[in-house]
Amino acid sequence: MILCGLYEIFENIWRANADFLSSAAVMATVAEQPLADLLSVSRASKAGAGKRSRLAIVGMGLVGRRHAAAINQISSVEICAVVDADDAITAQVANAGFESGNDLCAMINATRPDGVILSTPTNLHMSQALACIESGIPVLIEKPIAHDLAAAQSIVRKSDALGVPVMVGHHRRFNPIIQKAKDVLTQGLIGKIRVVDAKCWFAKPNDYFETAPWRKINGAGPVSINLVHDIDLLRFLCGEIIEVRAMMAPSTRGHDVEDVAVAIFRFENGALGTVSVSDNAVSPWSWEVTSGEYPIYPFTGQSAYQIGGSRGALSVPDLKIWQHEGEPDWWSSIDSATLSVAMADPLVNQIKHFAAVIQGEAKPLVSGYEGLCTLAVIDAMREAAKTGRAICPADLIAVDKTAAEENMRFTAKARAHVKADSAWTNQAP
């Protein structure tokens, strides 16, 4: 009987997650799929469908391909153009019957897409984002929002001034696991948050650096490349980070970057937290290997984040809640329960949300200002590690929060008729 019950539980879990697993498998193989086939699928799958938002992708590397694969799964959006610096890629795009070229501004003038996705190197984000904003076109920028705070603030200010929405590709916020965790914390199921611990530990192989030597250069360490996602999730789940202390250690591989960093955070709600990252430590504790979001990584079944509250604790992404049956008592056993959630591909959810933003039906869950605040925490870590002082991320930002939040919500044409957004009601702290 017990075995039968366990079988039924696992069968239900499998059925609940079957669509997600299928979608994830598709996303994992997009790098191997010929570009023409990937784009042709997009066009063929939308034949005969109703009005759709027309999206242009700038940068058709791995991330750009993953966005294309996500678009293929959504009937309300379609790819209309691709911009890439590689002539071989633009030739493949043109052969597939899509508008293509090397010049973003020329593409905007020729195609007038409803929205643009920037999946280009970070140092290009500011100039490309400004080109889109100045043309009145909403833009989804891959994380981080820009290569430095000055560039990020330029994007936010221009978006604010012209009322053109900016989204930043911190796609993990769109993962149902994170949405569920946010609900748990918002509802106070573990009481007031008091302590947070986050780990981002993994071992990058040597060829990771040899195939892309820029990854050895200062500024390209795991804090900027990897931890920025985790910082964004901590801000989303636990509230604003108002004070940072940090230490970093140089690469043991001899590169000009750190390979381990540790920080202590003070959150606005009074909670304290620790976060650590290393790309040279073998472990089962990182979002990549604990969330199941990417099938290419071996799943470990562990957790990456622990959040402790006055009435219980929550681990993420396994969504396990720990609580005493009655009042907290260290002499009595503490019980655990694992929350269930129907999985869905966060990249697909992100594109759906971007389409709603374009139509004026939603404000960005991860606005340009949110991307700026996350980047400010990263910069605060670096400054704290360099100086040995406590750094307030807000002191590094010279953008008015209220104006940014109010004016970056919708396109000008949508302001007159704003619909309630029922799909994504959770707002960043």
Tokens read off for 71: 């678009």
How deeply is 44 buried, as exposed, middle or buried, from its count of CB atoms within 10 A (0-12, 13-18, 19+)? exposed
What backbone torsions phi and psi does residue 362 show, to the nearest 5 degrees? -155, 155
Tell me, yes or no, if the pTM score tops 0.75: yes
Residue 381's closest CA among 372, 390, 371?
A: 390
Rounded to 10 degrees, the C-alpha dihedral 2/16/186/421 comes to -160
State residue 216's pLDDT score. Answer: 85
Kindly list the structural domains of the chain, giving each domain's residue range(s) and its CATH number in brackets, ordered by start: 12-172+347-369+394-414 (3.40.50.720), 176-345 (3.30.360.10)
Three-state DSSP state, 151: helix
Cα separation, 183 vs 191, in Å, equals 13
Vertex 399 angle, CA 427 and 372, to 5°? 55
3-state per-residue secondary structure call for 285-340: CCHHHHCCCCCCCCCCCCCCEEEEECCCEEEECCCEEEECCCCCCCCCCCEEEECC
pLDDT of residue 16: 40
Residue-by-residue pLDDT tens, the chain, 429 positions? 333 433 333 333 333 444 444 444 445 466 667 787 788 766 655 655 567 899 999 999 889 999 999 999 998 899 999 999 999 999 999 988 899 999 999 999 999 999 999 999 899 999 999 999 999 999 999 999 999 999 999 999 999 999 999 999 999 999 999 999 999 999 999 999 999 999 999 999 988 888 888 888 887 889 988 999 999 999 999 999 999 999 999 988 989 899 999 999 999 999 999 999 999 999 999 999 999 887 788 889 899 999 999 999 999 999 999 999 888 888 888 999 999 999 899 999 999 999 999 999 999 999 999 999 999 999 999 999 999 999 999 999 987 666 555 544 444 443 333 333 333 333 333
Residue 50 has a pLDDT of 62
What DSSP assignment string belongs to 11-60? Answer: HHHHHHHHHHHHHHHHHHTGGGS-HHHHHHHHHHHTTT----EEEEEE--
Residue 210, pLDDT score: 87
β-strand pairing of 305-309 with 313-316: antiparallel
The span from the CA of 56 to the CA of 90, in Å, is 13
